[in-house]
């Protein structure tokens, strides 16, 4: 019986399979604080369980750094 050994070759990246929708089947995060605030408003229960998103257009936006 022989043994197999997988060796990574520097400089060669493995390509991920391309999919039409990378979010298909994913579960989005629902912020419990936001959900509670929404539910406390008249009619807010309609959107209380909807996930919320924040788009970061640059790394500096995370730390609040201008630019």
Within 1-67, strands assigned E span none
Could you tell me the residue ranges of all domains in the chain? Answer: 32-63
Say if residues 10 and 30 touch (Cβ distance below 8 Å): no
Tell me the H-state helices in 1-67. 32-40, 60-63
What pLDDT is attached to residue 52? 82
What pLDDT is attached to residue 36? 97
What 3-state class would DSSP assign to 23? coil
pTM over 0.75: no
- pLDDT tens across the length of the chain (67 residues): 556 666 566 666 667 788 899 889 999 899 999 999 999 999 999 999 999 888 878 888 787 666 5
Catalogue the long-range contacts made by 29-33 (C-beta closer than 8 Å, 24 or more residues apart).
none
């Amino acid at each position: 019986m022989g043994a197999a050994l997988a060796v990574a070759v520097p400089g060669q990246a493995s390509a991920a399979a391309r999919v039409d929708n990378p979010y298909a089947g994913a579960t989005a995060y629902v912020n419990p604080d936001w959900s509670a605030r929404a539910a406390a408003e008249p009619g807010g229960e309609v959107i209380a369980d909807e996930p919320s998103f924040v788009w970061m257009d640059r790394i500096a936006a995370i730390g609040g750094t201008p630019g």
